[in-house]
Structure 1
Amino acid sequence: MFTRTESFQEFIRYYPVVSVIVSIHIILYLLTALPIFPNSLLFEQLSGVNLYIWQGEIWRLITPIFLHSGFSHVLFNSFSLVLFGPALERILGSFRFTWVYLITGISANVATLLIEPVTYIHLGASGAIFGLFGMYISLNVFRKHLLSRDNRQLITTIAVIGIIMTFFQQDINVISHLFGFLSGFLIGALTLRKRA
């Protein structure tokens, strides 16, 4: 389930949303890393700056989901998405997966806006990725038959470790991780129970 055996072309065909999101990550990273134009321009316009969001730049609740601060940041988040996104895209379907990803990422950024100081700046896909973990836990609770026992144990262990590590790593948006996870779980609880 979490082991990738598809060819590159098969991966793109089977998981179009994950493929598009990872492509956006890479394109935005390259635009900020390569000397095509001042890399600060994208960060200035797209990062989540709480002050600017309060002043009406609402797009900053969405754009930080796709923007990363460096190579290791984009690599880790993109790898996590490639590892954990495909199975969920297959289970939910591309349309629902897209909305879960966006809503959990936006929820994480709204929570960051409301809880962190007005001077706080944030970016990265981890809120949305933790939203996927939350959705997996909902699947584990409400629709167990969609996941094998081994996969349920694996994803639960990874989600728990991810949440614990949130509190021990530097420069982590703890609010984003927690509220991304919570929103993913709640979306699953609301939608999966109705269909059970």
Structure 2
Amino acid sequence: MFNRQSNAYVTWTLLVVTIGLYLVEVLSGGSQNASTLMTLGAMTNSSIQTGDWWRLITPIFLHLSIFHIFMNGFTLLYVGQRLEPMVGHWRFFTIYMLSGITGNLASFAFGNENAISVGASTAIFGMFAAFLSLALIYRENRFMTEVGKSFLGLIVINLLLDLFMPSINIWGHVGGAVGGFFLGYALSLPGIKRPKMIIRILALVVIVAISYYMYARGMVVYG
């Protein structure tokens, strides 16, 4: 039931692309060089307001330091090799990317106007929350319940740590978690008719509504 596709090749592809882009950063002027980061696709609130919508996507693959990419890369590999076989390749890719985008939208709507946003942590929080939603859907499964508790703990602990680290964009993490949670309900597991279709549709509606609100708020605040 929970191991339909054993090869996590989407996870590995995402990791390779992320590492490759970090090397490009280093060779192009440095991973902490603001000009280099913006050229490669980093996000600022003003850049989205002026029409660079694609910067809601590209920051997912950019990182500031060896430690930054190591932590996110390790987490991507660890969680991805467990989540991707469960939900399938395209579902996993969708959860990862859309969670990253909802996280960046939350940063756009509520974050620091002048901050440069990069990092896969928005998408990683989405993976954590997707596990949580699956645990709620399949709560009779002991494995899923235990895994869900573990990832709920990771979400809470990391958000608490964010409160004491002003350099961390907590809104991006919250937005990524919200996106991943509802995507878990919308996509669920392949070949299993749970949750009901109406719940899946409602979850999609909620994601679209929240995303639109955050985009509209960001455009008003920084317009």
The CA distance in 1 between the partners of 2:126 and 2:51, in whole Å, is 25
2:115 aligned partner: 120
Change (3 A) 1:75 1:165: same
Alignment of 1:28 onto 2:21: yes
Map of 1:173 onto structure 2: 169
1:52 to 43, 47, 63: 47
**1:14 aligned onto 2:20:** no
Cα shift at 1:148: 4.5
Partner AA of 1:177 in structure 2: H
Partner of residue 104 from structure 1, selected from 99, 103, 108? 99
What is the identity, as a one-letter code, of the residue corresponding to 1:163?
L
Alpha-carbon offset, residue 51 of structure 1: 0.9
Equivalent residue of 1:123, what SS? coil
CA–CA distance in 2 between the matches of 1:92 and 1:174? 27
Secondary structure of the residue aligned to 1:14 is coil
Alpha carbons of structure 1 residues 146 and 55: separation in structure 2 relative to 1, 3 Å:
farther
Distance 1:32 1:100 in 2: 26
- Residue 134, structure 1, aligned to residue 134, structure 2: no
Q: 1:71 to 1:194 in 2, by over 3 A?
A: same
SS at match of 1:181: helix
The one-letter code of the counterpart of 1:48 is M
Q: What is the match of residue 194 of structure 1?
A: 196
Instruction: Tell me how far apart the structure 2 counterparts of residues 153 and 58 of structure 1 sit (CA, whole Å).
Output: 35
**Alpha-carbon spacing, 1:186–1:150, altered in 2? closer, same or farther (3 Å):** closer
Structure 2 letter corresponding to 1:142: I
What is the root-mean-square deviation in Å for CA atoms of aligned residues? 2.1
Instruction: Specify the SS of the correspondent of 1:121.
Output: coil
Q: CA deviation at 1:118?
A: 3.5
Query: Structure 1: which 5+ residue stretches go unaligned?
Result: 1-12
Task: Give, in whole Å, the separation in 1 of the partners of 2:61 and 2:117.
Answer: 11
| 1:18 partner amino acid | T
State the percentage of identical aligned residues. Answer: 31
CA distance in 2, matches of 1:151, 1:125: 21
Count the aligned residue pairs: 182
